[in-house]
Structure 1
């Protein structure tokens, strides 16, 4: 593998200065461009509490969102610091007026 590349840093386990710099540059640019795969769970946690206050149950939230009860329970219980962007989008799309009858 070629030195000074992120591939060598990852696959080759090289920690020389050029490879480390290539990895650091990639990571910095990746997050700067908003490509992070996860987001802080606080807004989702607050949204789940609002849904619960409006009559939803954790099981209804899980069923409607397509996630497991365990995942929803962990977020609603404050045990997840970060959640995947797709999970956040799916859970935030649920609205209080959609309470299952």
Structure 2
């Protein structure tokens, strides 16, 4: 047997690889993928047979179903906004945390364009009850998106940051920091979520001039920033902690 691959430019039979297999069903012949693979023959007929085989194989082989990675990142973002860590998300949907991390960050600063559909379906399978069942330490920093939307929505009814803070039992500076785009603790998030359910759709006390003034300032701020009564309720996970 000739051990070096033959050349596509071979012109005589002595320059071609030959088959000396002793256990093959039949000798490998030129113009077949067997000659190309087993005996490394690179003559034109063998090369064409190999290309034809690969074309047919690629046409019929099972392909992984893929989805747009932006959809996956958006879903992960909603779950993170609901107060879940990447490790908790991975545990709840039975997907490796590295897979989730790769979908969000990519590798070497380059985010993937496509992600396996099975990962997307697993993330979508996480429901309100699953999220509500996760015990979160009160001091853990969580995403501030949902409570921020809730505070903004309450402003549209005239509830100012100080009133919300007083009724929630947190420092007014926490509300200011939240509206500035920062995250908050789980305990503060839970307090805002509860007060949002209680106050949404109601107006604050307007008995004194100071109360009326604060309510006016809150409504004007909401109007200037486009905050409406539906700012928070339109968000999918705005009320996840009250799932039942």
How does the TM-score come out when normalised to structure 1? 0.62
Distance 2:123 2:48 in 1: 42
C-alpha change, 1:80 and 1:92, in structure 2 (3 Å) is farther
Distance 2:68 2:103 in 1: 7
Q: Match for residue 62 of structure 1?
A: 90
Q: Match for residue 93 of structure 1?
A: 125
Q: Which of the pair is proportionally richer in helix?
A: 1
Are the equivalent residues in 2 in contact too, given 1:59–1:69 (CA < 8 A)? yes
Q: Match for residue 60 of structure 2?
A: 29
C-alpha change, 1:57 and 1:73, in structure 2 (3 Å) is same
Shift of 1:60: 0.9
Instruction: Identify the structure with bigger relative contact order (alpha carbons < 8 Å, sequence gap 6+).
Output: 1
Shift of 1:59: 1.6
Q: Match for residue 48 of structure 1?
A: 76
Matched, 1:75 2:107: no
Distance 1:41 1:51 in 2: 18
Matched, 1:17 2:48: yes
Are the equivalent residues in 2 in contact too, given 1:44–1:92 (CA < 8 A)? no
- Which deviates further from its counterpart, 54-63 or 74-83? 74-83
How many residues are matched?
93
Provide structure 1 residue ranges, at least 5 long, that are not aligned to the other structure.
none
> Greater Rg, structure 1 or structure 2?
2
Distance 2:63 2:76 in 1: 22
Poorly superposed stretches of 4+, deviation over 4 Å: 11-15
Provide structure 2 residue ranges, at least 5 long, that are not aligned to the other structure.
1-27, 136-244
- Which deviates further from its counterpart, 71-80 or 53-62? 71-80
Are the equivalent residues in 1 in contact too, given 2:67–2:117 (CA < 8 A)? no
